[in-house]
Amino acid sequence: MNHDTICALATANGIGAIGIIRISGDDAIPVSAKIFDGKNLEKAQSHTVHYGFIKDGDEVIDEVMISVFKAPKTFTAEDSVEISFHGSPHIAKKILEVLIKNGARMAKAGEFTMRAFMNGRIDLSQAESIADLIASENEASRKVALNQLKGGITNEISFLRTDLLNFVSLIELELDFAEEDVEFADRSALNQLLDKIEAKLNSLIESFQYGNAIKNGTAVAIIGKPNAGKSTLLNALLKEERAIVSNIAGTTRDTIEEILHIKGHAFRLIDTAGLRETADEIEAIGVKKAKEKVENANILVYLADAATENFSEDIEMIKSLQRDDLKLIICATKIDEVSPAQYELVENIFRKEIAQDFDFITISAVENQNMQDLKDELSSYVEQLKSEESNVVITNQRHFEALGKSMDAVNKVKEAITFQISTELLAYELRNALEHLGEISGEVTNDEL
C-alpha cells in the first residue's frame, strides 16, 4: 500500500487544555522535524518526548511536546509522531496547515486504523473493536470492546480454523490423486472437528443478544393508562424532572427517551402516551407511537394504578401487546395510597388473567418505594442473556452474520460427509466454511491452502 505521510487531529474537536495531532508514514519524522524548533527529531530515539516550538518559517505557532515512535513498534507499524499542543481549534488548524505545506496530507476517515490492519498490526475484528471502544458509554460495553481489541473473538476461533485448514489441505491433496482413489483426510476425525466448531459457533451466535444489549442498550417501554404514573416513574428513575407530571390525563403526547445505567448496563427508557381510546387527534398519534415503541422494545414495564377497582382495560391492553420475546413487568403503582391487601388483590387479578409469565412489583415513585426492586428486575434481564460457555461476547452485526454463514457452511460439510458426496464438492463446502470463518478477522485462505 501507499506509505505516504498522513496527519490528523487525534483528539476531539473543540477547546481543551491539550490537543494531539498524529502523523504516520515513511516521512513522518522528517516532515515533523522541518517544522519543529527543538531537538533534531531525525536523530531522536524511538518512544521519546521532546520540548520545543512548532514554526511556520520564522513564525512561532505554539509551544509543544513532540513524541517520536519508530517502526515497527507503533500503532500503524510505521514511523509515527504525535504533537501535543495547547487545545485551541485555531492552533490545530495552523499546525495541520504547516504539516501539509511540508509534505504530509490529511488522513482519510479511519486511515490510521486501516494502516494498522494492512500492516498486520491488528486484524479486522480488532480494527472494528477500536470504534466500539471509542463509542462505549457504559462499563459493560467498554469491557467487551477491550476484550475484542485484545483479539478475543479471533482467539476463540483461530485454533478451530487452523485444524479445519489442515483438513481442507488434505482434501485438496486427495483431488491431486483422484485417479488413485485414496483418502488422506480421516472423515470421522473431520466430523468430530465439525461438531467442535459447531458448538463454538453456537455459543458465539447465542451471545449476540447479550452483546447487542450491551452495545445498543436495552429498550424499556413504560406503558399504562393515562395517569398511571409513567412520567413520575421516569423522573424517579432518572432523578430529574425529565417529563411533565400532571393530574390532567393525556399530558404526555409524544414519546420521551432517556438512558439509565444500572450495574454497568445501559437501558433506554421510553415514556409513552397513556393508552386509551381518544378523540384528540394529537393524543391518538401519541398512543399509536406508544404501541410502535412496544413492538421494538425488549422489556415492557406496564403500570397499573393500584387504587383502581377495575383492571379489565389494563388486562386487555397487556394481552394485545404480548410477545414471546418480550419480558413483561407489571408494576402496581401508587402503593402509598392503598393497603397491602389491595395490591395483593391486584396481583391475584393479573395472575389469573395473564397467561404469560411476568414479574409483579409494587412501587411508589413519589415516595421512592421499591424502586430498587424494579432496577434489579431490569438488570437481571440482561444478566440472563449471558452465555456461560464463552468468555467472548459478539456485539458486531458483521461478526454475527459471518458466524451465521460459517454455521450454514459447517452444516453443509456435515451433510456432504453423511451422504458421501464427491471429494470435489466436499472440498468446495470446506473452502466456504474456512472463508466465512476468515471473514471475521479478515484472514484469506488461498495462499494458506
Query: Is residue 332 within 8 Å of 229, Cβ to Cβ?
Result: no
**What residues are designated binding site for GTP?**
227-232, 246-252, 271-274
Strand ranges across the sheet with 36-37: 36-37, 48-56, 59-69, 80-86, 18-24, 6-9, 105-106
Q: How far apart are CA 305 and CA 224, in angstroms?
A: 9
Q: How far apart are CA 166 and CA 291, in angstroms?
A: 53
Instruction: Write down the residue that cell numbers 467442535 correspond to.
Output: 196
Give the three-state DSSP class for 270: strand
Q: How far apart are CA 21 and CA 89, in angstroms?
A: 11
**What residues are designated binding site for K(+)?**
227, 246, 248, 251
Q: How far apart are CA 196 and CA 213, in angstroms?
A: 27
Per-residue HEC secondary structure of 22-79 comes to EEECCCHHHHHHHHEECCCHHHCCCCEEEEEEEEECCEEEEEEEEEEECCCCCCCCCC
Q: How far apart are CA 81 and CA 432, in angstroms?
A: 42
Query: How is residue 135 annotated by DSSP?
Result: H
Nearest to 416 by CA among 402, 430, 405: 430
Q: What are the b/e assignments for 10-35, b being 16+ CB within 10 Å? A: eeeeeeeeebbbbbbbebbbbbbbbb
Instruction: Write down the residue that cell numbers 491433496 correspond to.
Output: 173
- Residue 225, phi then psi, degrees to nearest 5: -70, 165
**What residues are designated binding site?**
227-232, 246-252, 271-274
**What residues are designated binding site for Mg(2+)?**
231, 252
